[in-house]
Amino acid sequence: MAIDGKCFWLSPADEDPDWQPDDKESLILYVENGPMILAAATLEPPCTLCGARLGSVSWQYDGVWLWPGDTGHYVRLHGFRLPDAFVDDVRARNYQCVAVDEIDYEKLPWPSDPA
C-alpha cells in the first residue's frame, strides 16, 4: 500500500487473508460508507481479481483521510489489509466520520505522487 500524508491506496501486495481484526466488519463499513467527495465520469477498470465492475473513479474522505472509492471492495472481497495508521484513527473516533461541512478540494490530502 502507499500512504502519502493522510491519503492511502491499496496495491496487490496488500492482500493479507490473515488480517482478521475483531472489528473488521466495522472497519469495512466505515470505508464503504465514508462520504464520497469526488466521482469522475471515468469508469474504474474492472477488478483485476474477480472482474467486478467498480463504478466510477471516486474518492472518499472522512475529514482526515482520503482513499479511493474501490477500497472497500478489495478489503471485503479479497482480504486486503487497511493501513495501521488509518485503522488506529478510525478506532480512536469510534468508527464515526468527522463532520465535514465544506470541502476545500485544494486542501485535501491528495497524494503527491499518485500510483
Residues that bind Zn ion in the complex, under the rule CB under 5 A? 47, 49-50, 52
In 1-115, which ranges are E strands? 2-4, 7-9, 36-43, 56-61, 66-68
* Pairing of β 56-61 and β 66-68: antiparallel
In the structure grid, which three cell numbers stand for residue 19, read together? 488480517
Q: Which is nearer to Zn ion, 32 or 89 (CB)?
A: 32
The residue number with the shortest CB distance to Zn ion is: 47
The least distance separating Zn ion from the CB of residue 1, rounded to whole angstroms, comes to: 17
Q: Which is nearer to Zn ion, 57 or 97 (CB)?
A: 57
Find, among 64, 3, 4, 61, the residue nearest to 33 by Cα: 61
How many angstroms separate the CA atoms of 62 and 93, rounded? 11
Q: Which is nearer to Zn ion, 21 or 46 (CB)?
A: 46
The least distance separating Zn ion from the CB of residue 73, rounded to whole angstroms, comes to: 6
The least distance separating Zn ion from the CB of residue 46, rounded to whole angstroms, comes to: 8
How many angstroms separate the CA atoms of 44 and 50, rounded? 14
The least distance separating Zn ion from the CB of residue 74, rounded to whole angstroms, comes to: 7
Q: Which is nearer to Zn ion, 2 or 54 (CB)?
A: 54
